[in-house]
Amino acid sequence: MFSLHIDTARTWRGGQNQVLVTVLGMRAAGHRTMLVAHPDGELRRRASEGLELLPLAPRSEMDLSAAWRLSRAIKSLRPDVVHAHDPHAVAMAALALSMSSEGKRAPLVASRRVDFHLKKSALSRWKYNQVDLFVCASEAIRRMLIADGIDERRTLTVHEGIDLARVAAAPETDLHAQLFLPHGSLIVGNVAALVPHKGQKHLIEAAALVVRQVPDARFVIAGEGELRASLEQQIRHLRLEKHVKLAGFRPDVLSLHKAFDIFVMSSVTEGLGTSLLDAMACGKPIVATTAGGIPEVVEDGRTGFLVPPRDHEAMAQAIVRLLQDEALRLRMGEAGRSLASAKFSAERMVKETLAAYGRLARKLRTAGAGQ
């Protein structure tokens, strides 16, 4: 199976990590892969060794020049499947396939990792009508696509996966020394872009309540984004400068997870949340909201606690309970590690995705033979 994968993002977030894990996993399983990535993007940089790469990114959603270049590559390479991993990639791939097709074309697969509704514009309707199969990161996303009018026969849930060997090999960083935290203080961590739907403002509100009961607790939020200035202002307003640290973008997120005592995902909306999987694989107990696909990952009362989105009081109560009970932290952390290993490995994700490719190819061949 030869699959061509497209991701247009310049930044590095969970989606780009999933693309890299998928491409590397398929290659390790003996399948040919090629990656189309932003010429100046972090994904291209991290995938620059040992992979077939085409540096290409559209300047807009309807960049005909980029689509033409991609169509030439598709016509020359003749992949079995074209897999678009973000909305701009879907548009570019749909245009390219319409330009390059001469009779039968390669099937178009689209990953869907966010629990946002599809746009209702004519362009959105057109590009998503070209998709043969939507691979959804969670059942919550799949249900949302169906509610938006996508035929359920064109949807499939494949939960995201993580490289468990890479997690095990990552060293633990000394966050206390790096961020000048009090020796022995427990660290509550969050790893996410600083954007509205990740809900860090609610985590900071919860932190203000937590430190009244556990004064030595420290909160570390790793990530960058448009809300940095407003979050900094909120921290100052609540006089939490000593208790809440914005650590910025960190390439060593697995090492951060190993330094945390508790991991919190404060999202208002969330497709699945691969940082949850990383934290669980590192043996950390979870406090997370019930947004999107999170309940498909976190087993409430076993691997962590689930709380309603935007409810900083419930979040604070769950965090305090874990901070004050070391045995509970250890028990939930070990349960999370076992669950991540059993259900959320990269190998399982790659196997299920390859199986979906095979079923789609057979379905299209059968449909073509019947015409």
Average pLDDT over residues 273-293: 96
Q: Are 52 and 33 in contact (CB under 8 A)?
A: yes
Q: What is the mean pLDDT of the chain?
A: 93
Instruction: Return the pLDDT at 103.
Output: 57
Residue 151 confidence class, pLDDT cut points 50, 70, 90 = very high
Which residue is associated with the tokens 């606690």? 305
Instruction: Return the pLDDT at 110.
Output: 97
Q: Is the pLDDT of residue 272 over 70?
A: yes
Task: Find all residues with CB under 8 Å of 215, minimum gap 6, and list them.
Answer: none
Strand order in the sheet with 2-7: 52-55, 32-37, 2-7, 81-84, 108-112, 133-136, 155-157
pLDDT in tens, 166-189: 999 999 999 999 999 999 999 999
Of 81, 84, 64, 60, nearest to 72 by C-alpha is 64
Instruction: Return the pLDDT at 368.
Output: 58
pLDDT in tens, 306-356: 999 999 999 999 999 999 999 999 999 999 999 999 999 999 999 999 999
User: pTM for the full model?
Assistant: 0.88
Instruction: Return the pLDDT at 362.
Output: 83
Q: CA 152, 116, 159, 6 torsion: positive or negative?
A: positive
- Chain centre to alpha carbon of residue 273: 5
d(CA 363, CA 314): 48
Residue 290 confidence class, pLDDT cut points 50, 70, 90 = very high
